[in-house]
Copies of this chain bind each other. A is one copy, B any other.
Amino acid sequence: MPDVFADLGMSLDGFIAGPNAGPHNALGDGGARIYQWAYQLQAWRERLGRSGGETDRDNEIAEEKFARAGAHVMGRRMFDEGEAGWPDPPPFGAPVFVLTHHPREPWERQGGTTFYFVTDGIESAVEQPRAAGDGKDVQLSGGGETIREGLDAGLLDELQIHLAPVLIGAGVRLFEGLRQDTVVLEPTRVVGSPSVTHIRYRVIH
C-alpha cells in the first residue's frame, strides 16, 4: 500500500514559517530562509517552469520527493494561501485533496493538477488517492495543522524534515499543540550538505 508522507523544511528552532503568514506571505516574515537551500536547485526551478539550477545531492533529494508524490492532501488554509500565489500550472502535477468544510466543484489546472475539495475529513482525503491508486505515495503537504492532524490520527508513515541551519525566532512551529505522546519516530536516513540536513523519520505505529 502506498505510504503517506510529509516532507517539509524546518528551522533549527522548530519553525516552518515566520510570523504573519497568510495569502501573499505563505512562509511568513523571514520564513523564506527556511528554504534558502532549495531555491537554486534544478528540481525546484523546474517545478516553477524555470530552467537551469544546481544538480547536487540536495537536488537529488528534492527530485526524489517530487517523484514519489502521486497525490497531495492539504489543509484549507494552505490552499487559500497558495491559491493567491501559485502559477498555472501549479507546482504539484498531481491531484490535490483539500480539507474543507465547504463543498466546491473540482478545480482543474494545467499540468495534471486538479484540486478536489473533501468535506468528510483527513482519513477520507488520504484514502481517496490511495484507492484511486497509481501506486505512488500520498503527501500530506501542509500546513502544520494538517500534518499534526495526520500524526495524531496515526495516518502518517514517514516524515522528512529538511533542517535548515537558521533561527527564525517566531512564527509557526511544526509540532506546537501536538498530542506528542502518541508519536514515536525513528530516523532512517540522514543526508547532510553545507546548506541543510535532510532527516527521514519512520513513524512507528
On A, residues with C-beta under 8 Å from B are 12-14, 161, 163, 165-169, 173-175, 178, 180-181, 183, 185-197, 199, 201
Contact = CB atoms under 8 A, between A and B. Distances in A.
A13 B14 contact: yes
B187 A194 contact: yes
Nearest to A161: B12
A91 B183 CA distance: 32
Given A13-B175, A14-B14, A173-B13, A165 B185 contact: yes
A168 B137 CA distance: 29
A196 to B, nearest CB: 7
The 4 closest A-B pairs by CB, nearest first: A190-B192, A167-B180, A14-B14, A13-B175
Contact of A194 (B188, B194, B195): B188
Contacts of A169: 175, 178, 180-181
Given A168-B180, A178-B167, A190-B190, A185 B12 contact: yes
A47 to B, nearest CB: 25
Contacts of A173: 13-14
A168 B193 CA distance: 27
Contacts of A12: 161, 175, 185, 201
A197 B194 contact: no
